[in-house]
Amino acid sequence: MPDTVFDSPPPHFSVDEVAHLAGRYFGISGPARSLRSERDQNVQVGDYVVKVSNSAETRAVLDLQHAALAHLALADPGLAIPRIAEPGVVEHDGHFLRALTYLPGAPYATVDHSPALRHQLGRFMGRMSRGLQGFGHPAAHKPDFLWNLDNAAEVAPWVADISDADDRAVVERAFHRHRRRVVPSLPLLRGAIVHHDANDYNVLVDDVLVDASATGPTISGLIDFGDMLFARQVNELAVTLAYALLDATDIIAAGRDVISGYAAECALTDHELRVVYDLAATRLAMSIAISSHRQREFPDNEYLTISQAPALRLLRRLMGMRPEFLHFAAREAAGLQPVPQHDRIVEWLTSPDCQPASVLPIDLRRAGRVVISLADGAPATQFADPVESWEWMQAQMDAAGAQVVVGRYDEDRSCYQGEQFHTDAPEPRSVHTGIDLFIAENTTVHAMLPGIVESVVDNDLAYDYGPTVVLRHTTCSAGAEGTPFWVLYGHLARATLAHIHVGDTVAAGDVVGFIGDHTVNGGWAPHVHVQIMTDLMADPDTGFDGNFEGAGEPSRMNIWRSVVPDANLLIRLAPETFEDHSADQPSVLQARREADLGPSLSTSYRNHLSIVRGQGAWLFDHEGRGYLDCVNNVAHVGHAHPHVVAAIARQAAVLNTNTRYLHRTILDYAERLAATFPSPLSVVYFTNSGSEANELALRIARTVTARHDIVALDWGYHGNTNDLVEVSAYKFKRAGGAGKPPHTHLAELPDPYRGSHGDDGATYAQSVATAIAAAVARNGSGPAAFIAESISGCGGQVVFPAGYLAAAYQHARAAGALCIADEVQVGFGRVGTAMWAFEEHGVVPDIVTLGKPIGNGHPLGAVVTTPALAAQFANGMEWFNTFGGNPVSCAAGMAVLDVIDHEDLLARAVDTGGYLLARFQELAMRHAAIGDVRGRGMYLGLDLVTDRSTKQPATHLAADVANRLREHGVLVSTDGPYDNVIKIKPPIVFNRDDADILCCELDDALAELSPAATE
Ligand SMILES: Cc1ncc(COP(=O)(O)O)c(C=O)c1O
């Protein structure tokens, strides 16, 4: 080291002499007193400090200080820094003299440090940095300056002068951390002229009234610009931190105060934030090393050692923390996402590229779940004994029909009692950073994503993880470089340790371990703790040791949440799982429903469902349990399809009115819909429901033919109005029905399985001719119309035999009746091969009625007919329907047609429907209870029988199957004259995976409920 001001003693004029010189050179007078200085001589004279520089000080350095102060006075006039008295630097007796204004206040070191004061300190130094941007001076380049943080390497050897071995080791670690983390990034750190010595004696605090509303200590100034130099700009903040954190109760909180203040005035770069705490530690280490070195030179100066005690204490605490955690803390303080790669990882985790497998060998989407709290005083915390705790959980699961107990992410818990939960923070680590899934010991635990085993260790402290596996994954999709992240599976069984090894490659779904029992898992009820880590925060020297916090300090959760984001990003329990939906509980709603809506409205399943959300082919109940919807053909293109939702929202925000005005949307939609029909069907009437559509169809037929009687198919259902109930055998023949009215004539349901003529369509059609004859006999002219669904739904998913509809239509037309095809259930491509199910029969109806899927749940219906019939219908009586075909309904209908096209859903119906049919047929080979499998596309039925030879309907079994499936998260319904047909008519976005779930559950249900009939 060259000869510096540190090596030459400070000047020693008397106070009177300096006072005299002040008057002589600067015209300053007033009471004089000596002020503290390490290397100059400072004397306060009146409102000024007269500084007599160390004889080794160069003129250039003083010029630097003066230029900097002048620059700052211009750049930030409000900044409390000294002003220079004219004429600036003078020379006297080999010393340089100058006078600066005296700044009032006590040293920062001598006052209490509130968060607000620390924040002010940060702001003050941020203003300094901002003010000095753009300032340059040749004398600022002091590469050999002892205290220059960039020169840590020069001072590091003095560590040897630290007498205490422990102290020496801590300081050595700090220098090592500097070499490891700071040195490589030095070229990336911005350079600037910095004050470089905002120590707690150079920062002044004044207890003045700040403004009318706030009193209290405030930063009143910064003095001693003697260390100014060109260095890394972030050193300014690092030096400030090194002193501001001395003896702070909570380093992270205190650091946040300072850094947030600094960053509010002067933005920090990613690189600076990464090393700012390392640099603060380096400053402390340098200070201790320099001090110890001087101590050796001046062994009598005890002050040097004593003054280092707080620095050593702080350094020890900083070195006890993971450097990456400090990095993330600095970022959090600066208002950034603590872990830089967090957002990238979460974006991938929520992207379609990320398709995690289930962590447990159960389908967690559908599994019943009990969410427990382990917060202080919660019922689950009453058991100290893990065995009792598990028994209690099992009782909870039995009561709720659940398969798993879920412990929450980000929950403050009282159960973490071990030493390992106590950190440098004032409070222990008590907030859970994973999700717990409690399930029987030895249950397999599965990798959710493909990855590589990072660690397999046994963290065998009490309350710890026990055997733990960490997998490394990346955000890459097929070969591309990605960002790594990790998933930890804790509390496993010892068998795990032999099952899986570091470096193993695992595929999604592979078994990575087994649930441990309380003797090995840290003393807990059996469960797996799953957590995602965006950074391992590993020690760069030793690497990751397999241990990672599973709980964070409450006050540091902003940082922890970024390091350990919610494991549910991968586990994917529906959000309702964690929400309070007590007001949606079935028992609560059922009681209200009976009172409010009347008892005629039935509710599906023995255990009623409270459904709060739908998505695609899935419905979710108030507890977040998912149900595969195999029956809701209304949500044709999938529940809550975003395209349809957006179309409805867009139009609703602009206009919804009745249909008395010209509006292009209704015409666009009518034309697009009509274009899907064969000629001459081209005129559309819009309604609000299938019932309204059928009601209008009857009105058209009756108006046009001037007849009233209707021929309908047995077991048909056409709607809920009086007229429609009278043509719906499914209603008038069953409970509460008034029987067949005289003007309705029923034709036999052409059921190839149960009907009297097998699959002889022409013979069944004879029954239509017979019904027509009955109408003629009754009224002399015949029926107005023959109405039939294109596949009979309520009749039990009955597909008509070939030739039936053509022959039936022939009979009807020959009698002057119109043919109405009710496509309310089966239209819009459900059969897959065609848009309309009647097309499969080679017929063209006179009137077609539409409903259910047409608006994907939005109330809409339509009647499509020919221009000729439309003209005849216009007999003077107006057709008016307030809501039918309003702009919002038409936007919904148009969007449904868009999705059918864009997602090629007819092809989907063919593919999944064909797959399902084949799997059902395969089930029928094994389950004798399946008497018949039938249907087209995604409109299928399983006719359950007690005896295949007699075809005795298995009505109870069908109900039991539907209810059991519901308990297992699969929704089907029963129908048909005997309610023995399992009806399958899901949203047509249903895919093969969904089909597999349905078939597995059906298989199990039949095996369990009808074992004797299983062949
Ligand atoms: C074949 C058929 N037509 C008409 C309707 C009546 O439709 P909506 O209930 O929309 O009035 C239904 C309803 O289930 C139906 O299945």
- What is the bridge-based pairing of β-strands 785-789 and 818-822? parallel
Q: What are the tens digits of pLDDT across the range 38-68?
A: 778 899 999 999 999 877 778 888 899 999 9
Smallest CA separation from ligand 1 atom 16, residue:
825
- What is the bridge-based pairing of β-strands 484-490 and 466-474? antiparallel
Q: What are phi and psi of 432, to 5 degrees?
A: -65, 130
Please tell me the distance between residue 698's alpha carbon and the centre of ligand 1 in angstroms: 14
pLDDT at residue 1 greater than cutoff 60: no
How many residues are present in the chain? 1015
What was the pLDDT predicted at 305? 65
Please tell me the distance between residue 787's alpha carbon and the centre of ligand 1 in angstroms: 13
Q: Are 727 and 738 spatial neighbours (Cβ–Cβ below 8 Å)?
A: no
Testing ligand 1's pocket by substitution, the residue of 726, 825, 854 carrying the most ligand atoms inside 8 A of its CB is: 825
Please tell me the distance between residue 691's alpha carbon and the centre of ligand 1 in angstroms: 6
* Cα–Cα distance, 511 to 361 (Å, whole number): 9
Q: Are 549 and 570 spatial neighbours (Cβ–Cβ below 8 Å)?
A: no
* Cα–Cα distance, 898 to 946 (Å, whole number): 44
Please tell me the distance between residue 844's alpha carbon and the centre of ligand 1 in angstroms: 21
Is the pTM for the entire model greater than 0.75?
yes
Smallest CA separation from ligand 1 atom 14, residue:
719
What was the pLDDT predicted at 295? 81
Please tell me the distance between residue 846's alpha carbon and the centre of ligand 1 in angstroms: 19
Q: What are phi and psi of 186, to 5 degrees?
A: -55, -45
Q: What are the tens digits of pLDDT across the range 384-418?
A: 899 999 999 999 999 999 999 999 999 999 777 77
* Cα–Cα distance, 284 to 689 (Å, whole number): 78
- 826 CA: nearest ligand 1 atom: 1
- 719 CA: nearest ligand 1 atom: 6
Smallest CA separation from ligand 1 atom 8, residue:
690
Smallest CA separation from ligand 1 atom 13, residue:
719
| Position 534, amino acid | T
Residue 323 contacts by C-beta under 8 Å, 6 or more apart in sequence? 177, 181, 277, 278, 537, 540
Please tell me the distance between residue 563's alpha carbon and the centre of ligand 1 in angstroms: 53
Nearest to 364 by CA among 434, 433, 439: 439
Rounded to 5°, angle at Cα 407 from 406 and 411? 150
Smallest CA separation from ligand 1 atom 2, residue:
718
What was the pLDDT predicted at 421? 79
Please tell me the distance between residue 717's alpha carbon and the centre of ligand 1 in angstroms: 7
* Cα–Cα distance, 1002 to 455 (Å, whole number): 41
Testing ligand 1's pocket by substitution, the residue of 824, 848, 860, 983 carrying the most ligand atoms inside 8 A of its CB is: 824
Strand partners, 438: 405, 527
Q: What are the tens digits of pLDDT across the range 668-722?
A: 999 999 999 999 999 999 999 999 999 999 999 999 999 999 999 999 999 999 9
- 859 CA: nearest ligand 1 atom: 10
* Of 147-156, 186-195, 343-352, 837-846, minimum mean pLDDT range: 147-156
Q: Are 987 and 636 spatial neighbours (Cβ–Cβ below 8 Å)?
A: yes
- Report H helices in 604-641: none
Please tell me the distance between residue 673's alpha carbon and the centre of ligand 1 in angstroms: 19
Nearest to 196 by CA among 249, 137, 240: 240
Please tell me the distance between residue 951's alpha carbon and the centre of ligand 1 in angstroms: 28
- 689 CA: nearest ligand 1 atom: 10
Q: Are 372 and 592 spatial neighbours (Cβ–Cβ below 8 Å)?
A: no
- 794 CA: nearest ligand 1 atom: 16
| Position 867, amino acid | P
Work out the mean pLDDT of the chain and round it to a whole number: 94
What was the pLDDT predicted at 424? 82
Residues lining ligand 1, Cβ inside 6 A: 689-691, 694, 717-720, 789, 793, 822, 824-825, 851-852
- What is the bridge-based pairing of β-strands 847-850 and 818-822? parallel
Please tell me the distance between residue 719's alpha carbon and the centre of ligand 1 in angstroms: 5
